Chain A
Amino acid sequence: MKDLKLTPIKNGTVIDHIEAGMAMKVIKILGIPEPDSHSIISIAMYVHSEKMGYKDLIKIEDRELKKKEVNKISLISPNASIVIIEKEIVKNKYWVSLPKIIKGLAKCSNPNCITNKGEPLETEFSVTNGKDIKLRCLYCDRNVTDVLESIV
Protein backbone atom coordinates (compact mmCIF):
# COMPACT_ATOMS: atom_id res chain seq x y z
CA MET A 1 0.00 0.00 0.00
CA LYS A 2 3.00 2.34 0.36
CA ASP A 3 3.02 3.06 -3.34
CA LEU A 4 -0.63 4.14 -3.32
CA LYS A 5 -0.86 7.73 -4.43
CA LEU A 6 -4.28 8.80 -3.25
CA THR A 7 -4.58 12.02 -1.31
CA PRO A 8 -5.64 11.40 2.31
CA ILE A 9 -9.00 12.90 3.15
CA LYS A 10 -9.71 15.21 6.07
CA ASN A 11 -13.34 14.33 6.64
CA GLY A 12 -15.36 11.69 4.88
CA THR A 13 -15.47 7.97 4.09
CA VAL A 14 -13.05 5.45 2.70
CA ILE A 15 -14.59 2.37 1.13
CA ASP A 16 -11.84 -0.22 1.15
CA HIS A 17 -11.50 -3.88 0.14
CA ILE A 18 -13.91 -3.46 -2.74
CA GLU A 19 -13.77 -6.45 -5.05
CA ALA A 20 -11.28 -5.61 -7.82
CA GLY A 21 -12.99 -3.99 -10.78
CA MET A 22 -16.17 -3.09 -8.91
CA ALA A 23 -15.34 0.50 -7.85
CA MET A 24 -17.22 2.15 -10.70
CA LYS A 25 -20.28 0.08 -9.88
CA VAL A 26 -20.09 1.20 -6.25
CA ILE A 27 -19.88 4.81 -7.48
CA LYS A 28 -22.95 4.19 -9.61
CA ILE A 29 -25.13 2.74 -6.87
CA LEU A 30 -24.13 5.51 -4.44
CA GLY A 31 -25.15 8.10 -7.02
CA ILE A 32 -21.91 10.06 -6.73
CA PRO A 33 -20.69 12.58 -7.61
CA GLU A 34 -23.84 14.35 -6.47
CA PRO A 35 -24.97 17.31 -8.55
CA ASP A 36 -23.50 20.62 -7.28
CA SER A 37 -21.01 18.82 -5.05
CA HIS A 38 -17.35 19.69 -5.44
CA SER A 39 -16.05 17.30 -2.80
CA ILE A 40 -13.09 15.21 -3.87
CA ILE A 41 -13.69 11.61 -4.85
CA SER A 42 -10.62 9.43 -5.36
CA ILE A 43 -10.86 6.03 -6.97
CA ALA A 44 -8.11 3.42 -7.12
CA MET A 45 -8.62 0.18 -9.00
CA TYR A 46 -6.63 -3.05 -9.04
CA VAL A 47 -4.54 -2.04 -6.04
CA HIS A 48 -2.32 -4.85 -4.77
CA SER A 49 -3.70 -6.38 -1.59
CA GLU A 50 -2.11 -9.11 0.52
CA LYS A 51 -5.48 -10.38 1.61
CA MET A 52 -7.40 -10.14 -1.65
CA GLY A 53 -4.72 -10.17 -4.34
CA TYR A 54 -6.22 -7.08 -5.93
CA LYS A 55 -8.83 -4.67 -4.65
CA ASP A 56 -10.47 -1.35 -5.40
CA LEU A 57 -10.67 1.63 -3.07
CA ILE A 58 -12.78 4.80 -2.99
CA LYS A 59 -12.26 7.91 -0.88
CA ILE A 60 -15.14 10.34 -0.63
CA GLU A 61 -14.60 13.70 1.00
CA ASP A 62 -17.34 15.24 3.21
CA ARG A 63 -19.67 12.30 2.99
CA GLU A 64 -20.80 9.74 5.54
CA LEU A 65 -22.71 6.72 4.24
CA LYS A 66 -26.20 5.91 5.38
CA LYS A 67 -27.04 2.36 6.52
CA LYS A 68 -29.04 1.83 3.33
CA GLU A 69 -26.03 2.79 1.20
CA VAL A 70 -23.75 0.43 3.11
CA ASN A 71 -26.27 -2.37 2.53
CA LYS A 72 -26.26 -1.59 -1.18
CA ILE A 73 -22.46 -1.87 -1.24
CA SER A 74 -22.66 -5.23 0.53
CA LEU A 75 -24.79 -6.58 -2.32
CA ILE A 76 -22.09 -6.05 -4.93
CA SER A 77 -19.00 -6.22 -2.79
CA PRO A 78 -19.75 -8.21 0.37
CA ASN A 79 -16.17 -8.08 1.69
CA ALA A 80 -15.79 -4.29 1.61
CA SER A 81 -14.82 -2.25 4.66
CA ILE A 82 -15.90 1.25 5.60
CA VAL A 83 -13.61 3.75 7.33
CA ILE A 84 -15.02 7.01 8.68
CA ILE A 85 -12.46 9.84 8.85
CA GLU A 86 -12.90 12.94 10.98
CA LYS A 87 -10.23 15.60 11.10
CA GLU A 88 -7.79 13.21 9.43
CA ILE A 89 -8.27 10.63 12.19
CA VAL A 90 -10.00 7.26 11.82
CA LYS A 91 -13.18 7.64 13.83
CA ASN A 92 -14.70 4.25 12.98
CA LYS A 93 -13.94 1.22 10.85
CA TYR A 94 -16.20 -1.72 10.10
CA TRP A 95 -16.85 -4.44 7.55
CA VAL A 96 -20.04 -4.40 5.58
CA SER A 97 -22.35 -7.31 6.29
CA LEU A 98 -24.87 -8.83 3.98
CA PRO A 99 -28.41 -8.43 5.36
CA LYS A 100 -30.74 -11.45 5.21
CA ILE A 101 -33.61 -9.28 4.00
CA ILE A 102 -33.37 -5.98 2.14
CA LYS A 103 -36.23 -3.52 1.95
CA GLY A 104 -36.61 -0.78 -0.63
CA LEU A 105 -33.07 -1.19 -2.01
CA ALA A 106 -33.81 -3.07 -5.20
CA LYS A 107 -36.40 -3.40 -7.92
CA CYS A 108 -37.86 -6.74 -8.97
CA SER A 109 -36.80 -7.76 -12.47
CA ASN A 110 -40.11 -9.54 -13.10
CA PRO A 111 -42.19 -6.97 -15.04
CA ASN A 112 -45.39 -8.72 -13.95
CA CYS A 113 -44.53 -8.52 -10.24
CA ILE A 114 -47.04 -6.50 -8.21
CA THR A 115 -44.14 -4.41 -6.84
CA ASN A 116 -43.75 -2.88 -10.32
CA LYS A 117 -47.38 -1.73 -10.56
CA GLY A 118 -47.45 1.47 -8.52
CA GLU A 119 -48.71 -0.05 -5.28
CA PRO A 120 -47.84 1.70 -1.99
CA LEU A 121 -45.21 -0.75 -0.82
CA GLU A 122 -41.50 -1.20 -0.27
CA THR A 123 -39.86 -4.02 -2.20
CA GLU A 124 -38.49 -6.86 -0.09
CA PHE A 125 -35.93 -9.45 -1.08
CA SER A 126 -34.28 -12.31 0.72
CA VAL A 127 -30.52 -12.33 0.21
CA THR A 128 -28.43 -15.47 -0.14
CA ASN A 129 -24.70 -15.55 -0.62
CA GLY A 130 -23.57 -18.69 -2.39
CA LYS A 131 -21.28 -18.62 -5.40
CA ASP A 132 -23.01 -15.37 -6.32
CA ILE A 133 -25.30 -13.13 -4.34
CA LYS A 134 -28.93 -13.93 -5.10
CA LEU A 135 -31.96 -11.76 -4.42
CA ARG A 136 -35.35 -13.42 -4.26
CA CYS A 137 -38.44 -11.21 -4.38
CA LEU A 138 -40.61 -11.87 -1.35
CA TYR A 139 -43.69 -10.87 -3.33
CA CYS A 140 -43.48 -12.82 -6.60
CA ASP A 141 -40.92 -15.38 -5.39
CA ARG A 142 -38.62 -14.90 -8.42
CA ASN A 143 -34.87 -14.48 -8.41
CA VAL A 144 -33.57 -11.13 -9.63
CA THR A 145 -31.74 -11.69 -12.91
CA ASP A 146 -29.11 -8.93 -12.53
CA VAL A 147 -28.40 -7.81 -8.97
CA LEU A 148 -26.46 -4.69 -9.96
CA GLU A 149 -29.14 -3.51 -12.39
CA SER A 150 -31.85 -4.08 -9.80
CA ILE A 151 -30.35 -1.79 -7.14
CA VAL A 152 -32.24 1.50 -6.87
Chain B
Amino acid sequence: MNFKGIHVVSVRDFSRKDIEHILNLADTFIPIARGESSSTLMNGKIMATLFFEPSTRTRLSFESAMQRLGGRVLGFADPGGTSAKKGETLADTIRMAAAYSDLIVLRHPQEGAARLASKFSNVPVINAGDGAGQHPTQTLLDLQTIRQEAGKIDGKKIALVGDLKYGRTVHSLAYALAMFDTELTFVAPPTLQMPKEMIETVSQMGAKPKLVNSVEEVIAEADVIYVTRIQKERFPDPAEYRKVAEVYKITPEILEDAKKKMIVMHPLPRVKEISPEVDDTDYAAYFKQAFYGVPARMALISLITGVVE
Protein backbone atom coordinates (compact mmCIF):
# COMPACT_ATOMS: atom_id res chain seq x y z
CA MET B 1 0.00 0.00 0.00
CA ASN B 2 1.17 3.54 -0.72
CA PHE B 3 0.42 5.23 2.60
CA LYS B 4 0.93 8.82 1.47
CA GLY B 5 -2.31 10.79 1.69
CA ILE B 6 -4.54 7.93 2.88
CA HIS B 7 -7.22 8.35 5.52
CA VAL B 8 -7.14 5.90 8.43
CA VAL B 9 -10.73 5.23 9.46
CA SER B 10 -10.79 1.54 10.37
CA VAL B 11 -8.24 -1.20 10.91
CA ARG B 12 -10.09 -2.98 8.11
CA ASP B 13 -8.51 -0.47 5.72
CA PHE B 14 -5.21 -2.34 6.21
CA SER B 15 -3.87 -5.72 5.17
CA ARG B 16 -1.56 -7.78 7.36
CA LYS B 17 1.36 -6.57 5.22
CA ASP B 18 0.36 -2.93 5.79
CA ILE B 19 0.12 -3.49 9.55
CA GLU B 20 3.52 -5.15 9.65
CA HIS B 21 5.01 -2.26 7.69
CA ILE B 22 3.61 0.23 10.23
CA LEU B 23 4.78 -1.82 13.21
CA ASN B 24 8.29 -2.35 11.79
CA LEU B 25 8.60 1.40 11.42
CA ALA B 26 7.13 1.94 14.89
CA ASP B 27 9.87 -0.29 16.35
CA THR B 28 12.53 2.05 14.96
CA PHE B 29 10.81 5.04 16.61
CA ILE B 30 10.89 3.60 20.14
CA PRO B 31 14.12 5.41 21.20
CA ILE B 32 12.70 8.72 19.92
CA ALA B 33 9.42 8.07 21.71
CA ARG B 34 11.39 7.51 24.91
CA GLY B 35 13.30 10.75 24.39
CA GLU B 36 16.60 8.89 24.07
CA SER B 37 17.21 10.40 20.66
CA SER B 38 15.67 13.31 18.79
CA SER B 39 14.14 13.70 15.36
CA THR B 40 13.29 16.49 12.92
CA LEU B 41 11.37 14.20 10.59
CA MET B 42 8.10 16.14 10.82
CA ASN B 43 9.75 19.54 10.85
CA GLY B 44 7.45 22.15 9.29
CA LYS B 45 4.37 19.91 9.49
CA ILE B 46 1.26 20.73 11.50
CA MET B 47 -1.16 18.18 12.94
CA ALA B 48 -4.68 19.29 13.92
CA THR B 49 -6.12 17.36 16.86
CA LEU B 50 -9.89 17.82 16.91
CA PHE B 51 -11.21 16.17 20.06
CA PHE B 52 -14.97 16.54 20.31
CA GLU B 53 -14.99 14.38 23.41
CA PRO B 54 -12.48 13.98 26.20
CA SER B 55 -9.54 11.66 25.93
CA THR B 56 -6.34 11.49 27.93
CA ARG B 57 -4.11 8.82 26.49
CA THR B 58 -5.09 9.08 22.86
CA ARG B 59 -4.72 12.85 22.55
CA LEU B 60 -1.54 13.08 24.61
CA SER B 61 0.13 10.22 22.77
CA PHE B 62 -0.76 11.68 19.35
CA GLU B 63 0.61 15.05 20.43
CA SER B 64 3.71 13.48 21.95
CA ALA B 65 4.26 11.49 18.75
CA MET B 66 4.08 14.60 16.56
CA GLN B 67 6.22 16.75 18.83
CA ARG B 68 8.88 14.07 19.34
CA LEU B 69 9.22 13.99 15.56
CA GLY B 70 9.69 17.76 15.41
CA GLY B 71 6.21 18.68 14.16
CA ARG B 72 3.69 21.08 15.63
CA VAL B 73 0.20 20.57 16.95
CA LEU B 74 -2.91 22.73 17.02
CA GLY B 75 -6.46 21.90 17.96
CA PHE B 76 -8.83 21.55 20.87
CA ALA B 77 -9.42 19.04 23.64
CA ASP B 78 -13.15 19.65 23.98
CA PRO B 79 -15.65 21.34 21.67
CA GLY B 80 -16.69 24.04 24.15
CA GLY B 81 -15.81 27.44 22.68
CA THR B 82 -15.48 26.11 19.13
CA SER B 83 -17.78 26.81 16.17
CA ALA B 84 -19.32 23.38 16.68
CA LYS B 85 -21.12 24.86 19.68
CA LYS B 86 -22.51 27.55 17.38
CA GLY B 87 -24.01 24.85 15.20
CA GLU B 88 -21.26 24.48 12.60
CA THR B 89 -21.40 21.15 10.81
CA LEU B 90 -18.55 18.71 11.25
CA ALA B 91 -18.04 18.88 7.49
CA ASP B 92 -17.28 22.62 7.70
CA THR B 93 -15.02 22.24 10.75
CA ILE B 94 -13.04 19.60 8.86
CA ARG B 95 -12.68 21.78 5.74
CA MET B 96 -11.37 24.59 7.95
CA ALA B 97 -8.93 22.37 9.85
CA ALA B 98 -7.69 20.87 6.58
CA ALA B 99 -6.80 24.37 5.41
CA TYR B 100 -4.63 24.93 8.49
CA SER B 101 -2.81 21.60 8.80
CA ASP B 102 -1.08 18.68 7.10
CA LEU B 103 -3.13 16.01 8.83
CA ILE B 104 -6.17 15.78 11.07
CA VAL B 105 -6.67 13.55 14.11
CA LEU B 106 -10.36 13.33 14.97
CA ARG B 107 -12.20 12.00 17.99
CA HIS B 108 -15.94 12.42 17.86
CA PRO B 109 -18.91 11.03 19.81
CA GLN B 110 -20.84 9.98 16.71
CA GLU B 111 -20.19 6.77 14.79
CA GLY B 112 -19.15 7.40 11.20
CA ALA B 113 -17.69 10.86 11.95
CA ALA B 114 -14.25 9.87 10.69
CA ARG B 115 -15.67 8.47 7.45
CA LEU B 116 -17.46 11.77 6.94
CA ALA B 117 -14.28 13.74 7.70
CA SER B 118 -12.37 11.69 5.13
CA LYS B 119 -14.85 12.80 2.47
CA PHE B 120 -14.47 16.51 3.24
CA SER B 121 -10.75 16.73 3.97
CA ASN B 122 -7.99 17.18 1.43
CA VAL B 123 -5.38 16.21 4.04
CA PRO B 124 -5.21 12.75 5.65
CA VAL B 125 -7.60 12.06 8.53
CA ILE B 126 -6.86 9.62 11.34
CA ASN B 127 -9.79 8.28 13.31
CA ALA B 128 -8.97 8.57 17.01
CA GLY B 129 -12.30 7.00 18.01
CA ASP B 130 -15.80 7.69 16.72
CA GLY B 131 -18.47 6.91 19.30
CA ALA B 132 -18.83 3.18 19.74
CA GLY B 133 -17.28 2.74 16.29
CA GLN B 134 -13.66 2.32 15.24
CA HIS B 135 -10.40 3.20 16.95
CA PRO B 136 -7.70 1.88 14.59
CA THR B 137 -4.62 3.35 16.29
CA GLN B 138 -5.57 1.58 19.53
CA THR B 139 -5.39 -1.69 17.59
CA LEU B 140 -1.99 -0.78 16.15
CA LEU B 141 -0.55 -0.06 19.59
CA ASP B 142 -2.12 -3.25 20.97
CA LEU B 143 -0.41 -5.26 18.24
CA GLN B 144 2.86 -3.48 18.82
CA THR B 145 2.64 -4.26 22.54
CA ILE B 146 2.16 -7.97 21.79
CA ARG B 147 5.15 -7.94 19.43
CA GLN B 148 7.39 -6.11 21.86
CA GLU B 149 6.30 -7.69 25.12
CA ALA B 150 5.37 -11.22 24.02
CA GLY B 151 8.01 -11.45 21.27
CA LYS B 152 5.76 -11.92 18.24
CA ILE B 153 2.10 -12.20 17.25
CA ASP B 154 2.05 -15.41 15.20
CA GLY B 155 1.62 -18.57 17.21
CA LYS B 156 0.37 -16.81 20.33
CA LYS B 157 -2.61 -17.89 22.39
CA ILE B 158 -4.55 -14.72 23.07
CA ALA B 159 -7.57 -14.42 25.36
CA LEU B 160 -9.85 -11.39 25.15
CA VAL B 161 -11.64 -10.97 28.46
CA GLY B 162 -14.55 -8.92 29.79
CA ASP B 163 -17.10 -6.89 27.85
CA LEU B 164 -16.66 -8.30 24.37
CA LYS B 165 -20.11 -7.28 23.22
CA TYR B 166 -19.86 -3.50 23.47
CA GLY B 167 -16.10 -2.91 23.71
CA ARG B 168 -14.97 -1.30 20.47
CA THR B 169 -11.29 -2.01 21.01
CA VAL B 170 -11.78 -5.77 21.21
CA HIS B 171 -13.74 -5.90 17.95
CA SER B 172 -10.98 -4.17 15.98
CA LEU B 173 -8.32 -6.16 17.81
CA ALA B 174 -10.05 -9.51 17.18
CA TYR B 175 -10.26 -8.60 13.48
CA ALA B 176 -6.57 -7.66 13.31
CA LEU B 177 -5.44 -10.74 15.27
CA ALA B 178 -7.40 -12.94 12.88
CA MET B 179 -5.08 -11.69 10.10
CA PHE B 180 -2.24 -13.36 12.02
CA ASP B 181 -1.77 -16.99 13.00
CA THR B 182 -3.17 -16.69 16.52
CA GLU B 183 -5.33 -18.87 18.75
CA LEU B 184 -8.13 -16.67 20.00
CA THR B 185 -10.32 -17.31 23.03
CA PHE B 186 -13.20 -15.02 23.91
CA VAL B 187 -13.79 -14.99 27.67
CA ALA B 188 -17.03 -13.31 28.76
CA PRO B 189 -20.33 -13.92 30.50
CA PRO B 190 -22.92 -15.09 27.94
CA THR B 191 -24.65 -11.68 27.94
CA LEU B 192 -21.42 -9.85 27.06
CA GLN B 193 -19.92 -12.40 24.67
CA MET B 194 -18.50 -11.36 21.29
CA PRO B 195 -21.27 -10.49 18.78
CA LYS B 196 -22.19 -13.30 16.39
CA GLU B 197 -21.30 -11.18 13.36
CA MET B 198 -17.79 -10.64 14.70
CA ILE B 199 -17.32 -14.35 15.44
CA GLU B 200 -18.42 -15.13 11.88
CA THR B 201 -16.06 -12.53 10.45
CA VAL B 202 -12.95 -13.80 12.25
CA SER B 203 -13.94 -17.41 11.50
CA GLN B 204 -14.16 -16.57 7.79
CA MET B 205 -10.65 -15.15 8.06
CA GLY B 206 -9.40 -18.53 9.27
CA ALA B 207 -9.40 -18.05 13.04
CA LYS B 208 -11.18 -20.66 15.13
CA PRO B 209 -12.11 -18.72 18.25
CA LYS B 210 -13.05 -20.60 21.40
CA LEU B 211 -15.78 -19.17 23.60
CA VAL B 212 -15.49 -19.69 27.34
CA ASN B 213 -16.92 -17.92 30.36
CA SER B 214 -14.17 -17.98 32.94
CA VAL B 215 -10.57 -16.80 33.06
CA GLU B 216 -9.58 -20.00 34.89
CA GLU B 217 -10.28 -21.97 31.71
CA VAL B 218 -7.58 -20.12 29.76
CA ILE B 219 -5.06 -18.86 32.29
CA ALA B 220 -2.64 -21.81 32.13
CA GLU B 221 -2.39 -21.79 28.34
CA ALA B 222 -2.58 -18.10 27.44
CA ASP B 223 0.36 -16.02 26.21
CA VAL B 224 -1.65 -12.80 26.32
CA ILE B 225 -4.68 -11.88 28.45
CA TYR B 226 -6.35 -8.75 27.09
CA VAL B 227 -8.74 -7.41 29.74
CA THR B 228 -11.49 -4.87 29.08
CA ARG B 229 -13.70 -2.93 31.42
CA ILE B 230 -17.12 -4.32 32.25
CA GLN B 231 -19.41 -1.32 32.50
CA LYS B 232 -21.87 -1.09 35.31
CA GLU B 233 -24.58 0.41 33.12
CA ARG B 234 -24.77 -2.80 31.06
CA PHE B 235 -26.42 -4.53 34.02
CA PRO B 236 -29.93 -3.64 35.17
CA ASP B 237 -29.23 -5.36 38.49
CA PRO B 238 -26.25 -3.92 40.49
CA ALA B 239 -25.83 -7.22 42.34
CA GLU B 240 -25.43 -9.04 39.04
CA TYR B 241 -22.80 -6.49 37.96
CA ARG B 242 -20.80 -6.98 41.16
CA LYS B 243 -20.90 -10.74 40.73
CA VAL B 244 -19.72 -10.62 37.12
CA ALA B 245 -17.04 -7.98 37.82
CA GLU B 246 -15.64 -10.14 40.59
CA VAL B 247 -15.51 -13.27 38.42
CA TYR B 248 -13.54 -11.51 35.65
CA LYS B 249 -11.08 -9.77 37.91
CA ILE B 250 -7.38 -10.48 37.35
CA THR B 251 -5.71 -11.08 40.73
CA PRO B 252 -2.31 -12.43 41.84
CA GLU B 253 -4.11 -15.65 42.86
CA ILE B 254 -5.44 -16.23 39.35
CA LEU B 255 -2.02 -15.49 37.90
CA GLU B 256 -0.43 -18.29 39.96
CA ASP B 257 -1.42 -20.71 37.20
CA ALA B 258 -0.16 -18.51 34.35
CA LYS B 259 2.88 -19.09 32.17
CA LYS B 260 5.91 -17.14 33.37
CA LYS B 261 6.07 -14.99 30.23
CA MET B 262 2.35 -14.38 29.91
CA ILE B 263 1.38 -10.70 29.65
CA VAL B 264 -1.73 -8.89 30.85
CA MET B 265 -2.96 -6.02 28.66
CA HIS B 266 -5.73 -3.45 29.15
CA PRO B 267 -6.69 -0.45 26.97
CA LEU B 268 -7.14 1.66 30.15
CA PRO B 269 -8.71 3.31 32.03
CA ARG B 270 -8.93 0.34 34.34
CA VAL B 271 -11.40 0.35 37.21
CA LYS B 272 -11.44 -2.90 39.13
CA GLU B 273 -10.73 -5.47 36.43
CA ILE B 274 -7.09 -5.85 37.42
CA SER B 275 -6.16 -5.64 41.07
CA PRO B 276 -3.36 -3.12 41.85
CA GLU B 277 -1.14 -5.91 43.23
CA VAL B 278 -0.70 -7.11 39.64
CA ASP B 279 0.89 -3.78 38.62
CA ASP B 280 4.29 -4.64 40.06
CA THR B 281 4.48 -8.11 38.56
CA ASP B 282 6.18 -9.01 35.27
CA TYR B 283 2.75 -9.87 33.88
CA ALA B 284 1.60 -6.24 33.81
CA ALA B 285 2.02 -4.85 30.29
CA TYR B 286 -0.78 -2.27 30.39
CA PHE B 287 1.29 0.78 31.24
CA LYS B 288 3.88 -0.16 28.62
CA GLN B 289 0.95 -0.62 26.27
CA ALA B 290 -0.02 3.03 26.80
CA PHE B 291 3.57 4.00 25.93
CA TYR B 292 3.50 2.05 22.64
CA GLY B 293 0.78 4.42 21.51
CA VAL B 294 3.51 6.95 20.84
CA PRO B 295 5.78 4.99 18.45
CA ALA B 296 2.77 3.38 16.73
CA ARG B 297 1.25 6.80 16.07
CA MET B 298 4.63 8.22 15.03
CA ALA B 299 4.82 5.53 12.37
CA LEU B 300 1.34 6.21 11.07
CA ILE B 301 1.75 10.01 11.04
CA SER B 302 5.03 9.87 9.15
CA LEU B 303 3.72 7.36 6.62
CA ILE B 304 0.49 9.12 5.70
CA THR B 305 2.13 12.53 5.42
CA GLY B 306 4.63 10.94 3.03
CA VAL B 307 7.65 11.86 5.16
CA VAL B 308 8.55 8.15 5.26
CA GLU B 309 7.59 5.54 2.65
Contact = CB atoms under 8 A, between A and B. Distances in A.
A138 B297 CA distance: 25
Interface size class of B (residues with CB under 8 A): 10 to 19
Contacts of B110: 112-114, 117, 140
Nearest to B115: A139
B259 interface: no
A128 to B, nearest CB: 12
A124 to B, nearest CB: 9
B10 A141 contact: yes
Contacts of B91: 119-121
Contact of A114 (B10, B111, B132, B197): B111
Contacts of B111: 110, 112-114, 139-142
Contacts, number: 53
A112 B91 CA distance: 16
Contacts of A121: 91, 116, 119
A13 to B, nearest CB: 35
Contacts of B133: 140-141
| Majority-rule SS of A interface residues | loop
A120 B90 CA distance: 9
Interface in A104-126: 108, 110, 112-115, 117-121
B120 to A, nearest CB: 9
B75 interface: no
B134 interface: yes
B115 A138 contact: yes
B89 A141 contact: no
A84 interface: no
Interface of A: 108, 110, 112-115, 117-121, 137-143
Interface of B: 10, 89-91, 108-113, 115-116, 119, 130-134, 197
